[in-house]
Amino acid sequence: MVQRADQRVRAVGDPGAASAGAAQIEITGLTKRFVTRKGVPFTAVSDVTFTVEPGQFCAIVGPTGCGKSTTLGQVSGLERPSAGSVRVGGREVNGVTRGVGFMFQADALFPWKTVLANVMVGPTLHGMARKDAVELARNWLRRVGLAGFEDRYPHQLSGGMRKRVAMAAALINEPQILLMDEPFGALDVQTKAIMQTELLGLWEQLRPSVLFITHDLDEAVALADRVLIMTTSPGSIKQSFDIDLPRPRGEVQEIRHEPRFLELQGQIWASLREEVERAYAQTAGAA
Amino acid sequence: MWLARVLVPVVVIGGWQLFTATGIVDKFFFGQPSGVWHSLVHLFQHGTAFGSIWLNLWVTIKEALYGFLLGTAAGILLGLLLGQNRFLADVIGPYIKILNSIPRIILGAIFIVAFGLGTFPKVLLAAVLVFFIVFFNAFQGVREVDPNLVANVKVLGASPLQVARHVTIPSALTWIIASLHTAFGFAIIGALVAEVLGAQHGIGLLISQAQGQFDMNTVFACMTITSVVTLVAEYLITLLERRVLAWRPPSRAEAASI
């Protein structure tokens, strides 16, 4: 892995141009209400306000079902807020936001496309000529360490490899903002750590603004510049923590043992714990 | 396994021959394998009252094929359209269900009267039979599309048309192709039934003539010929399926099946 990371740095070699394309995400008073199947109105998120500065890596942590994914849906423009507003790069989001990369919790690769064709979808949709798109996609597959797997189909790859394809597909258009919805949630612990390190490597080269959703506090602290704690439903922002661990962070597994990491992790856990317990009590009460 | 497999037709056909030869079963009503064979040879060597067997076979295949193509095209088109558009589905859906409940073979009688003894009414009946099978599969296929994939391609900047091209259609294709196996069988049935109801050429006409003359052997011979045609078509569709759906993981059920 270390060797691969080094290759990547050499491949890019122009860190100066990186953060120019990042956009600010400004969320003000965001509220989203649904009507459940039984016809009962349900408030998923309530009055969420925060800003992700251009190039910042921001993680949202909260108990299951607190509306983290809902928040992300509003930022991507796939869903519309019931109240409040989302602005990306100073522009109000209405319709699907331009310049967004999205990594989903579930596999969102096209099973009928080869690895190469999957990665090519982004540039193709932006009107890039086929030949250029092929070249760009090959380049990206090299960057995520999947050179030689171009002609495979997703079902022939391991979970970690599929995530790499998804990562290349999400980053190939060099998005201004990257939205990630528990992207590594389904991976085993070792693969997860490797993928986190790879993500950090790629992010440090491109520097888009990131909104990263997870329920894994260690993951959030290891990756992010800022960690937001979300309350249990209806979700709202409870507290914000700045993570002042130095960058580049290098291997994710090793950061976990640093005293500053443990200190921050402890502070944030004290805040998160209440919410997790409250969420547990809610579901236990309902059941 | 192979031995047992060979044994099945030997026992069935041999038993049939034996029972009719000994007179336990009347070969006048039930035909006789050796007689069926003679009829087959006769059909191919001496032709029929309505031209050579090849001409008649070709007419039937042509009708079934046109009907198959027409019905499949209409089924896919309407299935994709209604599958993606909830409003259209709500408006037209109930009527399709009503039409589907009509015993469609009867439509053949109407088509023959309305459009004469030519090729067109046969094509139409075959197409109607095929349409509903393909339509319901295409419709369901569109409904079963993974919403994650749609979200993904939308975020990447796809227009509704591009969503259809990259996600909906390839996803529905699995369902559509699966339906084609059954659909071709129905196309043949449609063509044959329409021919039985009234025609100038075709296997269906031969069958109805032979039935009129109590010539069961020829009926069985025609049945054998159409079965071969359907089997060949089935094989071709399987080839198409393998080609188009090469991306699919080999499922355990398939590996164990025939």
Between chains, do A125 and B153 touch, taking CB under 8 Å as contact?
yes
Identify the closest residue of chain A to B167 by CA–CA distance.
A110
**CB neighbours of B59 closer than 8 A, spacing ≥ 6?**
B119, B201, B202
Best interface-test mutation with A: which of B165, B167, B247, B251 has the largest number of A CBs within 10 A? B247
Minimal Cβ distance to B155: which of A100, A110, A111? A100
CB B176 within 8 A of CB B137: yes
Contact B161/A at CB under 8 A: no
Identify the closest residue of chain B to A75 by CA–CA distance.
B155
Contact A259/B at CB under 8 A: no
For residue B56, give Cα distances in angstroms to A64, B202, B212, B225. 68, 4, 18, 11
Q: What are the chain A neighbours of B162 within 8 Å (beta carbons)?
A: 125
Contact A128/B at CB under 8 A: no
Mean residue pLDDT across chain B: 88
Query: What pLDDT is attached to residue A15?
Result: 37
Identify the closest residue of chain A to B250 by CA–CA distance.
A155
| Cα four-point dihedral sign A228, A231, A232, A235 | negative
Question: Where do runs of H (alpha helix) occur along chain A?
Answer: 2-12, 68-76, 115-125, 130-143, 159-171, 189-206, 217-223, 252-255, 259-286
**CB neighbours of A206 closer than 8 A, spacing ≥ 6?**
A18, A21, A171, A174
Identify the closest residue of chain B to A105 by CA–CA distance.
B148
Shortest Cα distance, chain B CAs vs residue A210, angstroms: 15
Has residue A276 got a pLDDT over 50? yes
Nearest to B69 by CA among B241, B237, B246: B237
Has residue A136 got a pLDDT over 50? yes
Contact B166/A at CB under 8 A: yes
Between chains, do A96 and B154 touch, taking CB under 8 Å as contact?
yes
Query: What pLDDT is attached to residue A7?
Result: 39
All domains of chain B in start order, with CATH: 51-245 (1.10.3720.10)
Contact B149/A at CB under 8 A: yes
β A83-88/A25-35 pair status? antiparallel
Shortest Cα distance, chain B CAs vs residue A30, angstroms: 20
Contact B148/A at CB under 8 A: yes
What are A126's strand-pairing partners? Answer: none
SS (H, E, C) B65-80: HHHHHHHHHHHHHHHH
Q: Helix axis angle, B53-84 relative to B120-143, nearest 10°? A: 30
What single-letter amino acid sits at B12?
Answer: V
pLDDT band at B1 (very low <50, low <70, confident <90, very high): confident
Our CA angle for B216, B220, B221, nearest 5°, is 115
What single-letter amino acid sits at A21?
Answer: G
pLDDT band at B232 (very low <50, low <70, confident <90, very high): very high
What ipTM does this complex have?
0.79
| Cα four-point dihedral sign A243, A248, A252, A256 | negative
The interface residues of chain A toward chain B in range 95-124, judged by CB-CB distance below 8 A, are 96-98, 100-102, 104, 106-108, 110-114, 121-122
Task: Calculate mean pLDDT across residues A89-102.
Answer: 85
**CB neighbours of B3 closer than 8 A, spacing ≥ 6?**
none
Between chains, do A155 and B249 touch, taking CB under 8 Å as contact?
yes
Distance from C-alpha of A92 to C-alpha of A26, rounded to nearest angstrom: 9
Our CA angle for B167, A198, A272, nearest 5°, is 90
The interface residues of chain B toward chain A in range 172-201, judged by CB-CB distance below 8 A, are 173
Q: What are the chain B neighbours of A98 within 8 Å (beta carbons)?
A: 157
Has residue A285 got a pLDDT over 70? no
Contact B247/A at CB under 8 A: yes
pLDDT band at B134 (very low <50, low <70, confident <90, very high): very high
CB A109 within 8 A of CB A154: yes
Between chains, do A112 and B247 touch, taking CB under 8 Å as contact?
yes
Q: A158-193 pLDDT, tens per residue?
A: 888 999 999 999 999 889 899 999 998 888 888 899
Contact B38/A at CB under 8 A: no
Has residue B255 got a pLDDT over 50? no
DSSP string, A253-267: HHHTTSHHHHHHHHH
Element (H, E) at B170: helix B169-197
Best interface-test mutation with A: which of B146, B155, B254 has the largest number of A CBs within 10 A? B155
Sheet of A83-88: strand order equals A41-52, A25-35, A83-88, A91-92
Distance from C-alpha of B29 to C-alpha of B35, rounded to nearest angstrom: 12
For residue B178, give Cα distances in angstroms to B53, B79, B184, B234, B250. 32, 14, 11, 11, 15
Q: What is the DSSP letter of A248?
A: S
Q: A48-66 pLDDT, tens per residue?
A: 899 999 999 999 998 877 7
CATH number of A23-99+209-287: 3.40.50.300, 3.30.300.30, 3.40.720.10, 3.20.20.70?
Answer: 3.40.50.300
β A25-35/A91-92 pair status? unpaired
Distance from C-alpha of B140 to C-alpha of B68, rounded to nearest angstrom: 20
| Model pTM score | 0.77
Q: What are the chain B neighbours of A78 within 8 Å (beta carbons)?
A: 151, 154-155
Has residue A10 got a pLDDT over 50? no
pLDDT band at A286 (very low <50, low <70, confident <90, very high): low
Task: Calculate mean pLDDT across residues B3-17.
Answer: 91
Q: Domain segments of chain A: what residues?
A: 23-99+209-287
Contact B249/A at CB under 8 A: yes
Query: What pLDDT is attached to residue A104?
Result: 87
The interface residues of chain A toward chain B in range 146-175, judged by CB-CB distance below 8 A, are 153, 155-156, 169, 173
Best interface-test mutation with B: which of A69, A110, A119, A177 has the largest number of B CBs within 10 A? A110
Has residue B196 got a pLDDT over 70? yes
